[in-house]
Amino acid sequence: MKIGMILDYTFPPDPRVENEAVSLIVAGHEVFLFCLTYGGEMLNEEINSIKVCRYKSNRLEYKMSALAYTLPVYTHLMSKKIKHFIERYTIEAIHIHDIRIAEAVFKVNKNKKLPTVLDLHDNLPEVMKLYPHLQKFPGKYIISPKKWKQKEEEFINRATKVITVSQEFVEEVLDRTKLPKEKMVLVPNTVRKSFYKDAVVMPELLAKYKNNFVVLYLGDTHVRRGLLTAIRSIRFVKDKIPNLKLVIVGSNTTDTVLKNEVIKEEVKTFVDFEGWQNMSLFPSYIEASSVCISPLRRNKQHDVAYANKVFQYMSFKKPLLVSDATAQKNLVEKVGAGVVHKEQDAQDFAEKLLELYNNQELSDQMGAKGKAFVENEFSWEETSKNLVHLYDKLQD
């Protein structure tokens, strides 16, 4: 089957999109990936057997994407490109990555009537409520998360199949939309075995932190990810863990908030902001760490989604310290891979961190349980079977 994946971003990198595409190719399908380019990238190339088809975009189109469900301009512009893509490559099934571009796809598909798979990476309408530009003029008044939620439900009902990333997300969608259970497919964000089996660890990074008790965070550092809690916890533990180092690998436009908090708390010597790093360095940072964290603030999105970093941490036998956002709390407690703190509670975070620091045997046991879970149950090679089965059924 010729599968047309629709992504309204640049590619690469996007681990979920790449993982899904490669799994479907291994299963015997052809995957053509519609994506955008804002520069001089090749318009057509193969990456890991994915036929990447880039369409030129610009800053205006990018800005209009935020208004996709306020004004029809973005949908109109994208539908022209998508129509060309579907017809040129004789696409037989469409796989839509998230809802921003979904209306353009359904507009084109109205006459073509191809099977459509809607892949919900995030509960995007809920995430939008936390965007800084939606907290102030003019975004607050011209972009409506409520409207996006209505559109999301419309697309869920129009799609042939709907994919989500956690069991909690599946249940939330079913409860909200009264969708038939068989229409939903669970495909979590997990790691390929090659992430840890083929990893090249950089000796210089291990040497940099060899004398530290490293508390590691990987990924997007937006304040909603909870890093203010980790920073504020340092005052409670810095005298009890004298070699403590909070290492933050990632970036976001809200990083000034985090850096100002470090100054305010007078803990600069205990925090390293490493900025965004190539994913090839992630294993080295994880290997250098003692405890790995995901201190998410609770909201409707975080309660139903797993952060991919959690599985990356587990794959290297590291104990976890995570907030009580529902999905990750349930996972970590079920597996026994770490401890859970109250979200936005710096003192509780500190107490749980000390629990791991003072009990190396417990930490090692938790790390081993997480590693076994990833290897035996929750690697991409296992969880992607649902995706492959979905397309097998579409072919029938």
No. of helices (H) and no. of strands (E), the chain: 19, 14
Is-contact 307 319, C-beta < 8 A?
no
Question: Which letter, b or e, does each residue of 170-181 get, where b requires 16 or more Cβ atoms within 10 Å of its Cβ?
Answer: bebbbeebebee
Task: Pick one of 3.40.50.2000, 2.60.40.1930, 3.40.50.10740, 2.40.50.100 as the CATH number of 2-189+380-395.
Answer: 3.40.50.2000
Centre a 10 Å sphere on the Cβ of residue 89 and count the other Cβ atoms it contains: 16
Which residues lie closer than 8 Å to 79 by C-beta, 6 or more apart?
A: 104, 105, 107, 108
Q: Report DSSP state, residue 379.
A: B
Supply 260's token pair.
Answer: 């100002």
Which residues lie closer than 8 Å to 346 by C-beta, 6 or more apart?
A: 229, 230, 232, 233, 236
Q: What is the pTM of this model?
A: 0.85
Beta strands in the chain (DSSP E): 2-6, 30-37, 44-47, 50-56, 93-97, 116-119, 161-164, 184-186, 213-218, 244-249, 271-275, 291-294, 320-323, 338-341
- For residue 108, the number of C-alpha atoms closer than 13 Å in the C-beta half-sphere is 26
Query: How is the chain split into domains, by residue range?
Result: 2-189+380-395, 193-376
Is-contact 119 142, C-beta < 8 A?
no
Please name which of 162, 179, 174, 173 lies closest in space to residue 125, comparing C-alpha atoms. 173
Q: Is 97 exposed, middle or buried (0-12, 13-18, 19+ CB in 10 A)?
A: buried
| pLDDT (0 to 100) of residue 134 | 67
H-run or E-run covering 260: helix 255-265
Supply 317's token pair.
Answer: 């036998």
Q: In 3-state terms, what secondary structure has residue 196?
A: helix
How distant, in Å, are the alpha carbons of 45, 108, 159, 160 from that of 82?
18, 7, 17, 18
Alpha-helix residue ranges (DSSP H) falling in 269-383: 282-287, 308-315, 326-335, 346-357, 360-376, 380-383
Tens-level pLDDT at each residue, the chain (396 residues) = 999 999 999 999 888 999 999 999 999 999 999 999 998 899 999 999 999 999 999 988 988 888 888 888 999 999 999 999 999 999 999 999 989 999 999 999 998 899 999 999 887 777 777 777 667 777 776 778 788 889 999 999 999 999 998 888 899 899 999 999 999 999 998 899 999 999 999 999 999 999 999 999 999 999 999 999 999 999 999 999 989 999 999 999 899 999 999 999 999 999 999 999 988 999 999 999 999 999 999 988 888 888 889 999 999 999 999 999 999 999 999 999 999 999 999 999 999 999 999 999 999 999 999 999 999 999 999 999 999 999 999 876
Q: Is 49 exposed, middle or buried (0-12, 13-18, 19+ CB in 10 A)?
A: exposed
Side chain identity at 131, as an amino acid letter? Answer: Y
Beta strands in 148-251 (DSSP E): 161-164, 184-186, 213-218, 244-249
| pLDDT (0 to 100) of residue 245 | 98
Question: Taking the mean position of all CA atoms in its chain, how far away is CA 147?
Answer: 23
Phi, psi of 6 (to 5 degrees): -115, 115
Question: Taking the mean position of all CA atoms in its chain, how far away is CA 51?
Answer: 23
CATH topology assigned to domain 193-376: Rossmann fold (3.40.50)
193-376: same fold as 2-189+380-395? Answer: yes
Q: Is the peptide bond before 125 cis (omega within 30 degrees of 0)?
A: no
Please name which of 2, 62, 57, 60 lies closest in space to residue 35, comparing C-alpha atoms. 57
Distance CA 326, CA 137 (A): 32
